Amino acid sequence: MDDIDRSILAVLATDGRATLSTLSAASGLSTSAVQSRVQRLERSAVIRGYRAVIDQDAIGLPLTAFVEIAPLDPAAPDDAPDRLEDVDGVEACYSIAGDASYLLLVRVPRPSDLEGLLQRIRTAANVSTRTRVVLRTYFEGRPVPPPAAV
């Protein structure tokens, strides 16, 4: 990856719908050269996809929480992510260092739904939970520009 790839990625991180013309202007390449680079970045999985950023409040999911999970039986297989992958309400699962094994990002409509989701998480993955409810989100999903070449 070179500086031109980084400039293309910086624009796409801010606007995933940027046109080839916009990317061309930012990188100084022709549109066909930019298109080739974007396709190469997609094939190599540097660009893993494009998505819409959804306002969670607007779709009825105003309650966000972070849930730490730890196995009830440390000798049991470490398969919590697999067990939780299809649980509605769990948006993300991060492997973490510390007392817990994983940190889940969850979104639900109401506190009673959070209570039900926590029970489903405990049952599905055989884990204990520790929950932090988000009061306000100031920012998330900010684009992080690729680091400069060293």
Domain range list for the chain? 3-44, 56-133
Query: Any idea which architecture 3-44 has in CATH?
Result: Orthogonal Bundle (1.10)
The CB-side HSE value for 84 (13 A sphere, CA atoms) comes to: 29
Flag whether pLDDT at 148 surpasses 90.
Answer: no
The span from the CA of 67 to the CA of 78, in Å, is 17
- Average the pLDDT over 118-134 and give the result: 98
Rounded to an integer, the average pLDDT of 122-128 is 97
The pLDDT value given to residue 146: 80
| 63-71 β-sheet, strand order | 90-95, 102-108, 63-71, 127-133
**This prediction's pTM:** 0.86
Give residue 87's pLDDT band: very low, low, confident or very high (50, 70, 90). Answer: very high
Tell me the CATH number of domain 56-133, given options 3.40.50.2030, 3.30.710.10, 3.30.70.920, 3.40.50.1970: 3.30.70.920
Say what the pLDDT of residue 147 is.
84
Whole-number percent of the chain with pLDDT over 70: 99
Taking CA atoms, 74 is separated from 12, 94, 128, 132, 139, in Å, by 42, 18, 11, 23, 35
pLDDT given at position 149: 74
